[in-house]
Amino acid sequence: MFYEFSRAIVRSPGKTVINGLSETGIKPDYLTLKNEHLSYIKSLQNLGLTIDILESEDSLPDSVFVEDPALTFKNGAILLHPGAHSRKKERALIKPHLMETFDRVHELKKGYAEGGDILRLNDEILIGLSDRTNQLGAVELQNLLSQLDYQSRIVETPKGVLHFKSDCSALDEETVLVTPRLAKSEIFNNHELIVTPEGEYGAANALRVNEVLLVPNGYPKTAELLSDKFEVKIIDIFEVSKLDAGLSCMSLRW
């Protein structure tokens, strides 16, 4: 199943992480963010994952968010091209480790795409077009995914939303957590939708890992709603969220 993982890659946050991209302009507290990241790693380890912890890179403040420059699968990996100019070099930064870890590593050579726009479902992978993922990159990514035997579909990210997964997460084979604005689309016609309550749209970037659903802190109504069907674990990412990031951003899983 698409949410069953045994390994993950993370990168420790450098002190410059406080200068990472942020739509609000609010800088996080470094030490608190570092502790949040350590707790995140511990949570993945407790769920049975072996974690590769890469060294921090102060020249690239957003490099802690390893999900954006690459995709990882059990049968290979894909190096992406981040759409944000300040994040372009993150691809080269993570490439050596992927080359050491996977037998097959494909590289996006046209357009740009970020992992935050890529949602894995049970039978297909969705590629959300956004300011960070363009049509040229999405089409090229479809070609690379097909080489790893994955079917994919290009969809539209809601206007004003940074990444497609900012507004949704796949919970199991039939269920997707979505914001109200994404629920109105016809993207998930074949799925059961759980809609985030009013004022808790930030909860949409949850993360299913094996038998547990990780949910960001600060969204009690959503957590209660999800607890009816899933084993929920609340993860503290208050400082991380100041950097336009969420639970899925901080790891590559396979």
Note whether residue 2 is domain-resident: no
In a domain, 245, yes or no: yes
In this predicted structure, what is the pLDDT of residue 172?
98
Question: Is 97 designated active site?
Answer: no
Residue 185, in any domain of the structure: no
In a domain, 218, yes or no: no
Q: Residue 112 sits in which domain range? A: 7-162+236-253
Q: Does the residue 201 lie in any domain?
A: no
pLDDT at residue 15 in the model: 98
Asked if the structure places residue 124 within a domain, the reply is yes
Q: Which of 81, 163, 168, 191 is catalytic?
A: 163
Does any domain span residue 188?
A: no
Q: Does any domain span residue 172?
A: no
Q: Provide the residue-wise pLDDT of the chain in tens; the chain has 254 residues.
A: 899 999 999 999 999 999 999 999 999 999 999 999 999 999 999 999 999 999 999 999 999 999 999 999 999 999 999 999 999 999 999 999 999 999 999 999 999 999 999 999 999 999 999 999 999 999 999 999 999 999 999 999 999 899 999 999 999 999 999 999 999 999 999 999 999 999 999 999 999 999 999 999 999 999 999 999 999 999 999 999 999 999 999 999 99
Q: Which residues of 42-66 are buried (b: 16+ CB within 10 A; e: fewer)?
A: ebbeebebebbebebbeebbbbbbb
pLDDT of residue 154: 98
CATH code, domain carrying 21: 3.75.10.10
What pLDDT does 137 receive? 98
Question: Catalytic: 249?
Answer: yes
> In total, how many domains does the chain have?
1
Strands of the sheet containing 168-170, edge to edge, are: 168-170, 175-178, 192-195
Instruction: Let me know if 85 is exposed, middle or buried by CB neighbors in 10 A (0-12, 13-18, 19+).
Output: exposed
